[in-house]
């Protein structure tokens, strides 16, 4: 465990990347997934189709391919993230948010949004049709029906599956390491190579930190579920 | 008992023009012809009760009037305006048509008060204070003011349905549609809902009521419309209809339900 303690700052920095990737992609995927859900259950056929195709395409593609797409193929379509270059100084070192970090965040967002959409859609299906009818009957347009009546109830019903999706996202951030973001997985690999004798304790340390992070997420989800469980 | 209609019931504007007009309305569910060539005019302030056996198309008719059901042919006019197919125009028209459902459909995640104020605030763009004042008045009127802070699931069926009526009234609708409003209620709760509806009729509200409550039809209706197999078979004032129905179909129906 000495090795772990010795490198605590590097490990903390690595998890700062992990958590930032998760927060950006988490928020992005919740927003994107909500819009996709609205499109999928909405009255406009073209949008319904577009959202269905998006989900089919993205959900059925390995995450690594989606992320590599944004890093390697998207620039060929003039979709670049070179404008992103921010350095966040922390006590354990600088977190550098550059074009690679941005490509990974976008890839994770795009990928996770498809799963958020499906989780939320199951929630929408759990809201009785009469709720939407009653909202329409008092003259709400589709956007209002979704925003004030259907989605709030759908979110409640989807908290457990949404928590699963976000937990998967937290662990999926390790894929960003493959593109060179120095997040937890890459740091762990580096430390494993440099300290072959301390491999077991390094594995245990990284796994334990992930367990703690996911537990924090589950705790928040449970609290949220209990708080909104009214009717 | 007869209903004494309030002064506001007087059909003033639109001289003789129907508030709700259905002309040549047709609807099919696959091979099933659920609405057959429906013609129906409802005058301002009129209370029309629609009765008939299950599957006669009563609910479909009711729901077609604010386009919760689409129709295949014919037209539906509200205050002289044709129902728009969709979009903002339809939403605006729906705001003028109050609807009360068999299963109440109160917004489950909102309190009783919020249920009543949501439409006025978001659709009518009233201020929160104004909407709440009005909502409390209406809840008082339907007798559930003391439940304003509760959630729908904490209320009895009869209370929920009265809140649903208040929610519809909060939009100041030109006409109220009732789709079997008491069918999901325990017998002792039916009366409290019917009382509210009779009061509404007395105040001159234009109402189209699909119901199996023959007592209400006798008491509050200006006209009874009898439907069977998707068509309007008979249309008469309640006295005539109940004592001297014309069609065999209506005689048969009344014979079955009035025996018990």
What's residue B16's pLDDT? 59
Rounded average pLDDT over B242-259:
88
* Candidate CATH numbers 1.10.3720.10, 3.40.50.10800, 3.50.50.60, 3.40.50.2300; the one for domain A20-178: 1.10.3720.10
Q: What percent of chain B has a predicted confidence (pLDDT) above 70? A: 93
Distance from CA of A163 to the nearest CA of B (A): 21
Which residue in chain B is spatially nearest to A148 when comparing CA positions? B118
Cβ neighbours for A124, distance < 8 A, ≥ 6 positions apart: A37, A41, A150, A151, A154
Say if residue B5's pLDDT is above 80.
no
Among chain B residues, CA nearest to A147: B122
A42 close contact with B: CB closer than 8 A: no
Cβ–Cβ gap A152/B66 under 8 Å = no
Confidence at residue B1, expressed as pLDDT on a 0 to 100 scale: 46
Question: Which residue in chain B has the smallest CA separation from A133?
Answer: B68
Q: What is the pLDDT of residues A42-86, one digit of tens each?
A: 889 999 999 999 999 999 999 999 999 999 999 898 888 888 888
The string of pLDDT tens digits covering residues B106-119 is 999 999 999 999 99
Residue A182 to residue A227: CA distance in whole angstroms: 37
Helix, strand, coil in percent for chain B, rounding step 5: 40, 25, 35
pLDDT score at A92: 85
pLDDT digits (tens, 9 = 90+) for B58-106: 999 999 999 999 999 999 999 988 988 877 889 988 999 999 999 999 9
| Probe site for chain B from A124, A126, A137, A150 (most B CB atoms < 10 A) | A137
Mean model confidence pLDDT for chain B? 91
* Rounded-to-integer distance, Cα A25 and Cα A32, Å: 10
Provide the shortest C-alpha distance from residue A152 to chain B (in Å). Answer: 8
Question: Considering CB atoms only, which of A130, A139, A152 is closest to B119?
Answer: A139
Give the chain A residue whose CA is nearest to the CA of B169: A138
A203 Cα to chain B: minimum distance (Å): 45
Residue A101 has pLDDT above 70, yes or no: yes
Sequence-distant (6+) residues with CB within 8 A of A13 are: A90, A92, A93, A95, A182, A187
> What residue segments make up the domains of chain A, in order of their start?
20-178
- B94 with A138: Cβ contact below 8 A: yes
**Is any Cβ of chain B less than 8 angstroms from the Cβ of A43?**
yes
pTM reported for the whole predicted model:
0.83
- Chain A contacts of B106, Cβ < 8 Å? 134
The tokens describing A194, both together, are 């440099």
Residues 105-124 of chain B whose Cβ lies under 8 A from any Cβ of chain A? 105-109, 118-119, 122-123
pLDDT at B6 over 80: no
Q: What is the pLDDT of residues B209-231, one digit of tens each?
A: 999 999 999 989 999 999 999 99
Mutate: best of B122, B157, B184, partner A, most A CBs <10 A: B122
CA dihedral angle for residue A199, residue A200, residue A201, residue A205, rounded to 10 degrees: 100
The dihedral sign for the CA sequence A23, A25, A28, A30: negative
């Amino acid at each position: 465990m000495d090795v772990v303690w010795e490198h605590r700052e590097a490990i903390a920095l690595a998890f700062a990347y992990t958590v930032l990737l998760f927060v950006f992609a988490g928020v992005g995927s919740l927003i994107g997934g909500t819009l996709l859900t609205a499109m999928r259950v909405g009255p406009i056929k073209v949008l319904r189709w577009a959202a269905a195709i998006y989900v089919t395409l993205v959900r059925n593609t390995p995450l690594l391919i989606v992320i590599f797409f944004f890093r390697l193929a998207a620039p060929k379509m003039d979709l670049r993230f070179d404008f992103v270059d921010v350095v966040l100084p922390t006590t354990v070192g600088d977190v550098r948010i550059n074009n690679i970090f941005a490509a990974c965040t976008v890839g994770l967002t795009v990928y996770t949004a498809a799963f958020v959409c499906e989780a939320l859609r199951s929630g929408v299906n759990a809201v009785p049709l009469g709720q939407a009818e009653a909202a329409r009957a008092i003259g709400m347009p589709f956007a209002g029906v979704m925003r004030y009546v259907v989605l709030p109830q759908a979110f409640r019903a989807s908290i457990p599956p949404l928590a699963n999706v976000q937990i998967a996202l937290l662990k999926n951030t390790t894929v960003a390491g493959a593109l060179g973001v120095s997040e937890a997985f890459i740091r762990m690999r580096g430390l494993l190579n440099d300290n072959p004798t301390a491999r077991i304790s390094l594995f245990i340390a990284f796994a334990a930190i992930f367990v703690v992070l996911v537990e924090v997420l589950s705790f928040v989800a449970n609290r949220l579920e209990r708080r909104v469980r009214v009717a | 008992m007869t209903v004494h209609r309030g002064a506001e019931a007087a059909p003033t504007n639109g001289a003789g023009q129907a508030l709700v007009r259905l002309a040549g309305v047709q609807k099919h569910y696959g091979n099933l012809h659920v609405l057959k060539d429906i013609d129906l005019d409802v005058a301002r302030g009129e209370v029309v009760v629609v009765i008939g056996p299950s599957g006669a198309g009563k609910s479909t008719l009711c729901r077609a009037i604010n386009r919760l059901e689409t129709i295949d042919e014919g037209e539906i006019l509200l205050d002289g305006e044709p129902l728009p197919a969709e979009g903002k125009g339809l939403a605006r028209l729906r705001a003028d048509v109050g609807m009360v459902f068999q299963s109440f459909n109160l917004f489950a995640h909102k309190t009783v008060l919020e249920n009543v104020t949501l439409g006025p605030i978001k659709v009518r763009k009233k201020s929160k204070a104004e909407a709440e004042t009005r909502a409390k008045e209406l809840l008082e009127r339907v007798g559930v003011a003391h439940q304003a802070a509760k959630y729908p699931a904490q209320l009895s069926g009869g209370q929920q349905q009265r809140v649903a009526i208040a929610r519809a009234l909060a939009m100041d609708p030109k006409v109220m549609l009732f789709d079997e409003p008491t069918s999901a209620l325990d017998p002792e709760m039916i009366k409290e809902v019917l009382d509210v509806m009779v009061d509404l009729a007395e105040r001159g509200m234009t109402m189209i009521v699909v119901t199996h409550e023959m007592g209400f039809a006798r008491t509050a209706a200006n006209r009874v419309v009898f439907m069977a197999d998707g068509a309007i078979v008979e249309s008469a004032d309640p006295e005539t209809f109940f004592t001297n129905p014309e069609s065999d179909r209506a005689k048969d129906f009344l014979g079955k339900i009035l025996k018990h």
